Amino acid sequence: MADHPSDLTVRGVRIYRTLLDLKAQQQMAREIGTVVAQAPLFTPRTPGGRKMSVRMTSAGCCGWFSDHRGYRYIPRHPSGQDWPPIPPSVLAVWAQLTGLDRMPDCCLVNFYGGRARLGMHQDRDEADTAWPVVSVSLGDSARFRIGNTYRGGPTQSIWLESGDVAVLDDEARLIYHGIDRVKAGTSSLLNGGGRINLTLRVVY
Ligand code: MD3
Ligand code: FE
């Protein structure tokens, strides 16, 4: 794979800067628009009862969900409809970067508008966390905070921009991470602004 000069690895998180050029970003944004039209964004609640500021939906055979009963994957959108299929352009990025024959079960779609943020957390709702996670950023730039495999301790922050793709595997797969803020007006990719992050996961 052609290396981009500004690609970098931070605490085991591999970041491919602008892996997607503008045309590829536009294509993916259109395909995610179709997903959102079929499976509208909703506002999950934390187990503590608070509304999350990030709105979410999913594609694939299951979708990530949260309410007072906890975090989990569910087989249908809260509307009762099936989750739409994961778009081919998204599966192609997974295949290219992981080299795996196994395709992801879930593409979680996170939408950040206004002051949305995501607190520091670990991703461990999947049955086997040995599988990698792939993350695609589209739209406005976001401050991504990378911590440690334990809660607390020193962190490092970087900006994720539209078209950047991150791969989380090995020790980075169980690292605490979060999004501190999104900078409005840094991208014109999405109509109405904001940021979309896609995370591809093997769940079962
Ligand atoms: C590190 N999403 O959906 S993407 C999430 O930008 C999530 O919406 C953020 O954290 C976002 O769970 C961060 C980068 C990312 C994604 C998944 C990871 C970093 C990760 C899984 C394990 C470790
Ligand atoms: Fe996460």
Residues in the chain: 204
Please compute, for residue 102, the number of CA atoms within 13 A of its CA located in the half-sphere on the CB side.
12
Among 197, 172, 167, smallest CA distance to 182 is for 197
50 Cβ contact list (under 8 Å, min separation 6):
none
0.95 cut: is pTM over it? yes
Query: Domain holding 112: CATH number?
Result: 2.60.120.590
Give a yes or no: residue 83 inside a domain. Answer: yes
Q: Is residue 1 domain-resident?
A: no
Q: What ligand 1 atom has the least distance to the C-alpha of 64?
A: 3
Q: Is residue 106 part of a domain?
A: yes
| Tens-binned pLDDT, residue by residue, of the chain (204 aa) | 567 878 999 999 999 999 999 999 999 999 999 999 999 999 999 999 999 999 999 999 999 999 999 999 999 999 999 999 999 999 999 999 999 999 999 999 999 999 999 999 999 999 999 999 999 999 999 999 999 999 999 999 999 999 999 999 999 999 999 999 999 999 999 999 999 999 999 999
Q: Which domain holds residue 27?
A: 8-201
Identify the residue whose C-alpha is closest to ligand 1 atom 15. Answer: 135
How far is it, in rounded angstroms, from Cα 170 to Cα 92? 21
The protein residue with its alpha carbon nearest to ligand 1, atom 14, reads 135
Tokens representing residue 79 in the block? 């509307």
SS3 content of the chain, % helix, strand, coil (to 5): 15, 35, 45
Rg of the chain's alpha carbons, rounded to an integer? 16
Total domains in the fold of the chain:
1
Q: Is residue 3 part of a domain?
A: no
Kindly state whether residue 40 falls inside one of the protein's structural domains: yes
Atom of ligand 1 nearest to the CA of 54: 8
Residue 160 covered by a domain: yes
Phi, psi at 82, each rounded to 5°: -60, 150
Q: Is 135 in the pocket of ligand 1 (CB under 6 A)?
A: yes
HSE of 23, CA atoms in CB hemisphere, 13 A? 0
CA of 3 from ligand 1 middle (Å) equals 22
Which residues are in the CB-under-5-Å shell of ion ligand 2? 123
Ligand nearest to the Cα of 164, by number: 1
Q: What is the dihedral of CA 70, 57, 86, 121, to 10 degrees?
A: -50
